[in-house]
Amino acid sequence: MNITILPLEDHKRYNVNGHTVYKDQNGRWESKTGMSTMEWNAFRNYENTVINNPRFKKHTKSTFKTK
């Protein structure tokens, strides 16, 4: 299974396999639709490597391959 993450608005909203993930007023990542554990794990990995990395000026599309 491939999980694709597209930035909609850097540091605020992202698309994960058709699910919109956004940061709520408390600073937590939320999704109004149900995401699988693998999708959340891929997003957490993307958050740690891209979103929280100050070297990335513009966030890019990423595809994670799962087993």
Dihedral sign computed on CA atoms, order 44, 45, 51, 52:
positive
Q: Fill in the DSSP letter of residue 19.
A: E
pTM confidence score: 0.90
Residue 57 has pLDDT above 90, yes or no: no
pLDDT at 1: 84
Residue 5 has pLDDT above 80, yes or no: yes
**What is the average pLDDT across 41-55?**
95
Q: How far is CA 18 from CA 1, 9, 53, in A?
A: 14, 15, 24
Q: Label residue 66 by pLDDT band (50, 70, 90).
A: confident
